[in-house]
Amino acid sequence: MSEPNPPPTRVTLDRALSKLGLTSRKQAQLAIQEQRVKVNGRMIDSPGKWVTLGVDRIVVDGAVAKPAEKVYLALHKPRGLVTTRSDEQGRRTVYECLGDFGSWVFPVGRLDRDTSGLLLFTNDTDWSENITAPEKKLEKEYLAKVEGHVGDEALHTLRAGVYLDDGTITLPAKVRIDRQVEKSTWLSIIIVEGKYRQVRRMCEGVGHPVTQLIRLRIGTLVLGKLASGVIRKLTPEEVEKLVPGTTPVAAPRVAVSPKASPPSPGREGGSTRHREAGSALRQTPPAPKPRPTMKSGAGRRRPRRSR
């Protein structure tokens, strides 16, 4: 007996454009408010309009909104970059490392400015949420250099749970000494949650502040020999192992960009006459003086999951 089809997904219009992998919710809200989006033939100016994916016909700039090609990327984040698309203080961001993949992607969790290592990007919101959801308890492995020689009591506390400065206590962690050098200790730390700057706060809580921190693994995916600042696409097998049941969709090429900056002829295969909604919103490198209508990712905020 075949299983019943899952019920259609009902979400707000800005969320629908994000779930399709076409744009961020912030960019979607701007497009809707600019009256560039129609639902079932009617112009909509409210991002909170409820729609049903797969049932309602959504049109952006005269083109039907269809699912974007799913993109899954791994970056060896260097130290000194902040995990955001644009920074109010003018600091360098991880997006400098992405190049032009022709798709809008967001970070899966975060690493703070002084932390290096494995950082994922995608336009698949469901996949991302399965990785960052606290109830999934997905392992994240770090290599931390801390001040001083770590003793048995501190190791026991790190493993059992550390009371943080906000009064919360961390879940049990796997912690071992990797090596000790002069006045420092390298610790291997594996956690299953993602509190703000958690590893740094754990180590500081036992009197051993972190001086260097590297994320080596997320779930089944390891950093390996990926060079600092280099990004690569995940294989379908890697994507599925991280979140079982995920099937990367080989959909038509669709992505995000400001309406004011359409791709020039010859890019992505030439003609832009016949296009789908995503290509009308493609992400392109920012111009020196970008127009304010759909500035890429400006103001976007995602929940912090730094270590």
Catalytic residues: 112
- 3-state SS of the chain is CCCCCCCCCEEEHHHHHHHCCCCCHHHHHHHHHCCCEEECCEEECCCCCEEECCCCCEEECCEECCCCCCCEEEEEECCCCECCCCCCCCCCEHHHHCCCCCCCCEEECCCCCCEEEEEEEECCHHHHHHHHCHHHCCCEEEEEEEECCCCHHHHHHHHHCCECCCCCECCCCEEEEEEEECCEEEEEEEECCCCCCHHHHHHHHCCCCEEEEEEEEECCEECCCCCCCCEEECCHHHHHHHCCCCCCCCCCCCCCCCCCCCCCCCHHHCCCCCCCHHHHCCCCCCCCCCCCCCCCCCCCCCCCCCC
